[in-house]
Chains A and B, each alone.
Chain A
Amino acid sequence: DAMVIQNPRYQVTQFGKPVTLSCSQTLNHNVMYWYQQKSSQAPKLLFHYYDKDFNNEADTPDNFQSRRPNTSFCFLDIRSPGLGDAAMYLCATSQGTTLIGNEQFFGPGTRLTVL
């Protein structure tokens, strides 16, 4: 089945220690997104890639970076995690066309704990 995969599902890191979360997709979608979701809140968009074009949200801290080496993979790098960065991180994809209203397909998420 075509899907969005996130690894690992649970990640524990130490305060200030860089961490990388990964996302892969078999949907061959043009657009990949990273969201941060804190407990019982709506997902907050951090950035997205339209093909190789990177689009950063204005309020995304510089501490968060992303890489998309190819269509299938996208990475979220947190350079110096703080306690406030503990959250669920969701990866999503979309075809990048408005024909279906930008329906997004979500991965299961990676829950990040910062000690």
Chain B
Amino acid sequence: AQTVTQSQPEMSVQEAETVTLSCTYDTSESDYYLFWYKQPPSRQMILVIRQEAYKQQNATENRFSVNFQKAAKSFSLKISDSQLGDAAMYFCAYSFTGANNLFFGTGTRLTVIP
């Protein structure tokens, strides 16, 4: 079974500081993909960053980067230079080759303190 675990229901960060959100997953698949989605309050969910499991290099998108530890099945999101607009619910998600589903974690609510 595919499961995604986010152990931090809530996190907070001071504006301009760095924060790391944790995610672990369980799978027996060898070819899969990992995602971080951001859902701001009352706004739609958008993709923040994507990682292909076959790539060893960690994905980076501007201030967002991941630490992908395949052996440990860990996929954490680092947000650098946090901004007020980063405040949102963040969902870690997983999909594998041949699946049309996304498996979501339970989410981490990030608060950015001015």
Contact = CB atoms under 8 A, between A and B. Distances in A.
A107 B107 contact: no
Interface stretch (B16-24, B70-78, B80-88, B96-104): B96-104
Given A41-B106, A42-B105, A101-B52, A108 B100 contact: no
A103 B89 contact: no
Interface string B28-42: 000011010100000
Given A101-B35, A102-B95, A108-B44, A42 B100 contact: no
Given A42-B91, A106-B46, A55 B100 contact: yes
B102 A102 contact: yes
Interface string A23-50: 0000000010000000011110100101
Given A48-B100, A55-B100, A108-B43, A101 B109 contact: no
B45 interface: yes
A13 interface: no
A104 B43 contact: no
Interface in A29-76: 31, 40-43, 45, 48, 50, 55
Contacts of B46: 106
Contacts of A101: 32-33, 35, 50, 52, 95
User: Which of B43, B45, B50, B91 counts the most chain A CB atoms within 10 A?
Assistant: B45
B11 interface: no
Nearest to A107: B44
Contacts of B98: 98
Nearest to A111: B42
Interface of B: 32-33, 35, 37, 43-47, 50, 52, 89, 91, 95, 97-102, 104-107, 109
5 contacts: A40-B107, A43-B104, A45-B101, A101-B33, A109-B44
